[in-house]
Amino acid sequence: MKNQETNNISGAEAVIRCLLKEGVDLIYGYPGGAIMPIYDELYKYRDDLRHVLTRHEQGATHSAQGYARTSGKVGVAMATSGPGATNLVTGIADAQIDSTPMVCITGQVASHLLGSDAFQETDIIGISTPVTKWSYQITKASEIPEVLAKAFYIARSGRPGPVLIDITKDAQFELFDFAYKKCKAVRSYIPVPSLDITQVEAAAEAINQAKKPMIIWGQGVILGEAEEEFKNFVESSGIPAVWTILGLSALPTKHPLNYGMVGMHGNYGPNVLTNECDVLIAVGMRFDDRVTGNLATYAKQAKVIHLEIDPAEISKNVEAHYPVLGNCKESLSKLSSLVKHEDYTDWKQLFADHMQQEIEAVIKNDTQPTKEGLTMGEVIVGINKYTKGDAVIVTDVGQHQMIACRYAEFIKSKSNVTSGGLGTMGFALPAAIGAKMGAEDREVIAIIGDGGYQMTIQELGTIFQNKTAVKIVVLNNDYLGMVRQWQQLFFDKRYASTEMTNPDFVTIAKGYHIEANRVSKREDLDSALKTMLDSDEPYFLEVCVEKEANVFPMIPTGASVSDIRLK
């Protein structure tokens, strides 16, 4: 079909039109030489498509990730060739391992210069290949509609992930007749394996025989938009459920069958009882080593049911006796109709007993400390008091992340945004920007350590420029706390390069015209949190916490989940 408006348009304009066709209204990025034609079109289309200028390309990817995680839509990041493109790599790797839908568009030198070591030329396709779900280099404008349609389809379908599209500068300038058709399928790609009902029946049979079943759920529940089906499955079966860090918030924290977190710094009961359950029902999770500890001693006594969308995850780390491939939204509702309800009273009592031990040994000290120094735990509990669990919590990586995930309350899904698989320090501040833009009506609180904060601190500029009303809480212990903890426990307190001489964070925030405050005394904490949360604007709060506190429980590297330490 011929269309006056879309005939003879540039590749650059076609890119914008593709984004609009895909429902994109917000992108993050940073301009530069090889992507200037597209930025020129962004200027023309600025009323239809908002571009947020981050202060570093890594910030653009993490913002796009934060946006994707709270909105459920595909995040888009844009950068120029060379260093612009390589700066995206950390965020791409993070999105790959945490299954975040993201499309990255990079400019590239003109096609006749490819391979000539031209100014700002890097082989970004080669560099990003191992950390992308798919990637493609466009050298002709006519390829743009089909490739971008495919990029969005691949990024969001099945197990989501990052896609990188590299577009040479000549392809951006080239004129062609534009027509767009959404991608609905790719012949070499099966996004969602079809559900085998006999596998569901076999799994249900195993569940119905179980005396001590346990559910571990992961982010698959959120990515599959299966929160309702999951809750229904938990309630209709009566089985205690525990979560991986990325599964957090899919089921309300205070749900009576939510028994806490598994993994290295997870709760005591869920870890110990993993090695006592008779049926382990894994839903949309991938048995990461931080979850399993030593695989040789992980849940060996249990029959494992694995509900999973990605066939490559089946029996990758833990053998699945009952693999149930497909979207868990569908498999969970089928499963719910086949399982009988049990009270599992004695079994649940074991979880409660372990929790009591953990409260005495760890949680009381973390959340109601009697010693002088402020703890990270009491800050999180202080935040819960005002948010009542109705906030998006964005965390960075390290001690504060574990503490926040252990103690933050959630009543809504898509509320926990953190770098799980890659453990990317510097993630939280830019991710919080995207998280807020993806859920504008919600309170978004970034909780960050003093180390990670300084890795992407420049994004305060983005917050200021866009008046993004995120609340930033830096839990400052003047250490790279988690590494220091390991040095204390496993390296005879040799604190190699973990102590930090920090700047005046309040002054820095104020330099960006962001309201800022600092507390170091317990009696000031509550009012400081209240002031921050009452504000309608971006707000920075530094909390000076105990310098050498440790996060417990802890499964030492290589140990079994049942050898989790309370101190």
Partner 1 sequence: MSDITKYTISIYTENNVGLLNRVSAIFLKRHIDILSFSTSQSEIPDVFRFIVVVKMTESGVKKIVQQIEKQIDVIKAFYHTDEETIFQESALYKVKSSSLFEERQIQNMIKDSHANIVTVSPEFFVIEKTGFRHETEALRKSLAPYGLLQFVRSGRISITKEKMGISEILNTFKQQNKD
Footprint on residues 489-508 left by partner 1 (CB under 8 A): none
Q: Is 1 a catalytic residue?
A: no
CB 251 within 8 A of CB 224: no
311 touches partner 1 (CB under 8 A): yes
Among 126, 503, 511, 558, binds partner 1 (CB under 8 A): 126
Q: d(Cα 52, Cα 239) in Å, to the nearest integer?
A: 45
Among 3, 129, 194, 527, binds partner 1 (CB under 8 A): 129
Q: Is 119 a catalytic residue?
A: yes
Site size toward partner 1 (CB under 8 A) is: 22
CB 514 within 8 A of CB 538: yes
Stretch that binds partner 1, among 130-138, 270-278, 330-338, 510-518 (CB under 8 A): 130-138
Q: For residue 385, how many C-alpha atoms fall within 13 Å in the half-sphere facing its CB?
A: 14
CB 162 within 8 A of CB 133: yes
Among 154, 241, 328, 335, binds partner 1 (CB under 8 A): 154
Which residues, in sequence order, are CB contacts of 268 under 8 Å at separation 6+? 354, 355, 357, 358, 362, 553, 564, 566
CB 76 within 8 A of CB 105: yes
133 touches partner 1 (CB under 8 A): yes
Residue among 122 and 135 whose Cβ is closer to partner 1: 135
Residue among 316 and 321 whose Cβ is closer to partner 1: 316
Catalytic residue among 119, 205, 228, 356: 119
Residue among 182 and 385 whose Cβ is closer to partner 1: 182
Residue among 53 and 314 whose Cβ is closer to partner 1: 314
| Among 419, 439, 389, 377, residue whose Cα is nearest residue 253 | 389
Cβ 525 to partner 1 shortest distance, Å? 45
Q: Is 547 a catalytic residue?
A: no
Q: Is 120 a catalytic residue?
A: yes
Catalytic residue among 376, 482, 532, 554: 482
Cβ 125 to partner 1 shortest distance, Å? 5
Q: d(Cα 454, Cα 475) in Å, to the nearest integer?
A: 12
Produce one character per residue of 264-286: b if its CB has 16 or more CB atoms within 10 Å, e if not: bbbbbbbbbbbbebbbbbbbbbb
Cβ 101 to partner 1 shortest distance, Å? 14
Peptide bond into 538 cis (omega under 30): no
Among 94, 121, 310, 542, binds partner 1 (CB under 8 A): 310
Residue among 125 and 192 whose Cβ is closer to partner 1: 125
Cβ 134 to partner 1 shortest distance, Å? 4
Catalytic residue among 150, 169, 212, 303: 169
| Among 379, 508, 390, residue whose Cα is nearest residue 444 | 390
Residue among 125 and 355 whose Cβ is closer to partner 1: 125
Q: d(Cα 165, Cα 155) in Å, to the nearest integer?
A: 11
Residue among 184 and 567 whose Cβ is closer to partner 1: 184
Helix, strand, or coil here: 279?
strand
Q: Is 490 a catalytic residue?
A: no
Residue among 189 and 491 whose Cβ is closer to partner 1: 189
Catalytic residue among 41, 57, 227, 313: 57
Amino acid found at 502: N
Q: Residues 161-200 vs partner 1: string with x where CB under 8 A?
A: -----------------------xxxxxx-----------
What is the 3-class SS of 107-168, one letter each residue?
EECCHHHCCCCCCCCCCHHHHHHHHCCEEEEECCHHHHHHHHHHHHHHHHCCCCCEEEEEEE
Stretch that binds partner 1, among 15-23, 192-200, 313-321, 461-469 (CB under 8 A): 313-321
What is the 3-class SS of 180-234, one letter each residue?
CCCCCCECCECCCCCCCHHHHHHHHHHHHHCCCEEEEECCHHHHCCCHHHHHHHH
Cβ 338 to partner 1 shortest distance, Å? 28
143 touches partner 1 (CB under 8 A): no
CB 351 within 8 A of CB 240: yes
Q: d(Cα 405, Cα 253) in Å, to the nearest integer?
A: 10
312 touches partner 1 (CB under 8 A): yes
| Among 267, 302, 262, 258, residue whose Cα is nearest residue 285 | 262
CB 111 within 8 A of CB 139: yes
Cβ 165 to partner 1 shortest distance, Å? 12
Footprint on residues 212-251 left by partner 1 (CB under 8 A): none
Residue among 300 and 565 whose Cβ is closer to partner 1: 300
137 touches partner 1 (CB under 8 A): yes
Radius of gyration of the chain (CA): 24
Stretch that binds partner 1, among 14-22, 108-116, 309-317, 555-563 (CB under 8 A): 309-317
Residue among 137 and 237 whose Cβ is closer to partner 1: 137
Among 30, 39, 136, 407, binds partner 1 (CB under 8 A): 136
Helix, strand, or coil here: 4?
helix
Stretch that binds partner 1, among 78-86, 123-131, 376-384, 505-513 (CB under 8 A): 123-131
Residue 241, beta-bridge partner list? 215, 258
CB 284 within 8 A of CB 218: yes
Among 314, 338, 359, 361, binds partner 1 (CB under 8 A): 314
- Residues with a known catalytic role: 57, 119-120, 169, 482
Q: Which residues bind partner 1 (CB under 8 A)?
A: 125-126, 129-130, 133-137, 154, 184-189, 310-312, 314-316
